[in-house]
Amino acid sequence: MPELPEVETVRTGLAPVMEGEVIAQAHVNRPDLRWPFPERMSERLTGARIERLRRRSKYILADLDRGETLLIHLGMSGRMTVSGDPLGQFVHDHPQAEKHDHVVFDMASGARITFNDPRRFGAMDLMSTVESESHPLLAALGPEPLGNAFNEDYFIAAVKPRRTPIKTALLDQKLVAGLGNIYVCEALFRAGIAPTRRADRIATPRLAALVPIIRDVLAEAIAAGGSSLKDYRQADGELGYFQHNFDVYGREGAPCRTPGCEATIRRVVQSGRSSFYCPQCQR
């Protein structure tokens, strides 16, 4: 499932052709994805101007001039691609419609944004913009890891009392929004902390050091266009490249990349998810 860097990359790619532009026609080609689409979705979107395109955790939010906000979640296999961009940033002509093109936005500018989702684990919803933070999917989310509210004092106070593995704590969206399996594994490797170590048993300075490390990993992944493992594509259809920089994720049995370390990367299952780590470098 796309994590924060992938969603932010998609948002950044969509912004030039969506922000400030009018949806000339919204085509909704099925009644649902993970759950039913909101009532009269096509009618409520057609003719609306997108005033702002933002991200919260792993959700893209499009604020409309009608006082509503469109919430978009890519799910496991969803992707949003742009064609026919008059600004010249997306040179692709409009492609032939595909079987899993479930929602299509034809913009007044001539651009087209297609939401394709073969596995249909994605989602869209419409809500009042002024009440968007109270939406059931957003209300309980913690601070953004790249925002000012995610700082050392907050992180230590939130994590230190926890008697769960640090990997489990970091994946709790109520603690910090948007972190996923890939980037937590990578951040813990850089911090030298084993994913299985209990959060309450990690020294305070080591916890504090995790904050800038998490920020750095996410920023590097965004700069690389995210990580493409299966279905993920950027808005222009291109792959992300951060997967080539993985130190531990998906590298079970491979040698550790730390100079002088002779260990190999191991995998352990935690809460149904694979954690990758170096048994020598991470304690």
The domain defined by 152-277 folds into Helicase, Ruva Protein; domain 3 (1.10.8)
At 232-266, the pLDDT tens digits run 444 555 544 455 578 999 999 999 999 999 999 99
**CA dist list (Å): 108 to 176, 217, 235, 264:** 37, 38, 18, 54
* Residue 58 annotated among the catalytic residues of the structure: yes
* Residue 2 annotated among the catalytic residues of the structure: yes
Residue pair 72/60 in contact by the 8 Å Cβ criterion: yes
- Assess whether pLDDT exceeds 50 at residue 113: yes
The H-assigned helical ranges of the chain are 4-18, 41-45, 152-159, 166-170, 181-191, 204-223
Rounded average pLDDT over 95-116: 91
In this structure, the number of other CB atoms found within 10 A of the CB of residue 157 comes to 10
Nearest one of 6, 11, 60 to 179, comparing CA atoms: 6
Exactly one of 66, 160, 273, 279 is catalytic; name it. 273
Rounded average pLDDT over 120-138: 97
Query: Residue 53 in 3-state DSSP?
Result: strand
CATH 3.20.190.10 range(s) for the chain read 4-134
pTM assigned to the model: 0.89
In whole angstroms, give the CA distance from residue 226 to residue 10: 9
CATH 1.10.8.50 range(s) for the chain read 152-277
Residue 31 pLDDT grade (very low, low, confident, very high; cuts 50, 70, 90): very high
Exactly one of 58, 190, 251, 266 is catalytic; name it. 58
- Assess whether pLDDT exceeds 70 at residue 70: yes
Q: Where are the beta strands (DSSP E) in 12-87?
A: 23-28, 50-56, 59-64, 68-73, 79-83
In this structure, the number of other CB atoms found within 10 A of the CB of residue 5 comes to 26
In whole angstroms, give the CA distance from residue 231 to residue 117: 9
pLDDT at 197: 98
Domain with residues 4-134, CATH architecture? Alpha-Beta Barrel (3.20)
* Residue 3 annotated among the catalytic residues of the structure: yes
* Residue 30 annotated among the catalytic residues of the structure: no
- Side-chain half-sphere CA neighbours of 32 within 13 A: 4
pLDDT at 240: 46
Exactly one of 3, 8, 68, 186 is catalytic; name it. 3
Exactly one of 2, 5, 165, 195 is catalytic; name it. 2
In whole angstroms, give the CA distance from residue 77 to residue 68: 26
